[in-house]
Amino acid sequence: MRHTTKLCVRGYHLDVYGHVNNARYLEFLEEARWRFFEEQDVIEAITGEALAMVVVNININYRRAALIHEELEIATEVTRVGNKSFVIHQEIAVAETGEMIADTDGTYVLFDNAIGTSVVIEGKYKELLDRLR
């Protein structure tokens, strides 16, 4: 299941070079993930049981700088669900042209806040994440 989120580049997203700073892309990607998970009722299903989805690895390929007033489209999809982790692929592109800005594959775990460690993805959590693929 592929989900898209649109964001407009604002002045406060820019660095001294006049383009979006590399660290800001992490915020854009996170916003898109939150919207995706909220729309699919994943946040409440997981956090209601004191779990969190935690990033354990993320690799970003920067293709070109995003500039002020560009509307960006961020595609988000779960591409793999394993025993203890799952992978989310995301792409940031210029909405109007489809020109690629950046793409990433991030690895996430379900983290149990009460015991302070990741947990096996099974049962309803596996079904929930599999539904998003």
* Alpha-carbon span 87 to 109, nearest angstrom: 9
At residue 82, the 3 state secondary structure works out as: coil
- Per-residue pLDDT reduced to its tens digit, 4-37: 999 999 999 999 999 999 999 999 999 999 999 9
pLDDT for residue 48:
76
Closest CA to 66 of 29, 11, 6, 19: 19
pTM: 0.93
Q: Does residue 73 sit in helix, strand or coil?
A: strand
In 3D space, the residue among 67, 54, 35 whose CA is nearest the CA of residue 121 turns out to be 54
- Which residue is associated with the tokens 């590399």? 22
Q: What is the pLDDT of residues 38-63, one digit of tens each?
A: 999 888 888 777 899 999 999 999 99
How far, in Å, CA of 13 to CA of 19, rounded? 8
What does the alpha-carbon distance between residue 62 and residue 69 come to, in Å, rounded to a whole number? 19
Q: Are 58 and 110 in contact (CB under 8 A)?
A: no
**CATH number for the domain harbouring residue 113:** 3.10.129.10
Active-site entry in 15, 105, 112, 130: 15
Annotated catalytic residue 103: no
The residue range of the domain holding 58 is 3-131
For residue 23, what are its two tokens? 């660290």
Domain count, the chain: 1
